[in-house]
Amino acid sequence: MADIFREVDDELRRDGAQQLWDKYGIYVIGIAVSIVAVTSAVVGWNAYQSAQAEDASVAFLEANVEAAQEGADTAAIYAEFAEGAPAGYAALARLREAASLTTAGDVEAAIAAYEKVAGDTGAEDILRDLASIKAGTLLVGRTSYDDLAGRLLSLTGPGEAWRNPAREVLGLAAYREQKYRAARIFFQEIVDDPTSTPGVRDRAHVMIALIDPHVPTATPDNSSEVSEDSSSTDDAPVAEAAPIDETAPRAETSEEAE
């Protein structure tokens, strides 16, 4: 009797499983096919990107070799390479294009090349920031300090990779416009930054020495009073001489005494 009940239970389970498969089997198959398709697509895309990166790397090396040839139009070589290269290699090529244009004296074209990298959202942030600073260096004396501050001030923070070059550019721009206090702040930040390279720190020391004569020196006790007093010394009223009393006895001169 027990065997009969067991067979009935087994039959019911098989019927239930069959019904579930008939009802949901197509969805199970669809999910499995989708998983296989997505996996294949991801693997294929990664392989494609790897192949593209390898091709771009080889092409970039070839461009470097070509650009190093005597008499080569370096800027044109890198510009042509950048047109069809992936974003990262394109940014590197445009940076080299801009450097070549700067060396050739075509500053306006170099600025445009740097700004193109700075505005490329597909490039790495560190390359875009570097391009902004390179453009800013060329723009000192060609645009205002306020314009450069709008471009570079956000790059001067403690955690920014290019903070000291950005500070140097803004310090120079401020100095040119006789904004001595602002300029000194930027150069002092360079001096105080332990990560500053020796060359940048040395230039900052030189600029501070040039700026200090233009900035009033404050005493430790009352720095604000010293600044105000030093700036208003020439405008202070001069005390008037007391009137001479003609009736007062005069001291005899040596001639009168004789």
Distance CA 37, CA 40 (A): 5
List, run by run, the mean pLDDT of 10-residue segments along the chain (258 residues).
53 60 67 74 67 75 90 93 89 95 96 96 94 97 96 95 97 97 97 95 97 74 38 36 40 38
Distances (CA, A) of 145 to 63, 91, 173, 221: 37, 27, 5, 33
Query: What's the pLDDT score for residue 217?
Result: 64
Distance CA 121, CA 123 (A): 6
As a whole number of Å, the end-to-end CA separation of the chain is 166
pTM over 0.75: no
For 138-162, the DSSP string reads: HHBTTB-HHHHHHHHGGG-STT-TT
Query: What's the pLDDT score for residue 232?
Result: 34
Phi and psi at 143, nearest 5°, equal: -140, 175
Q: Which residues of 55-68 are buried (b: 16+ CB within 10 A; e: fewer)?
A: ebeeebeebbeebe
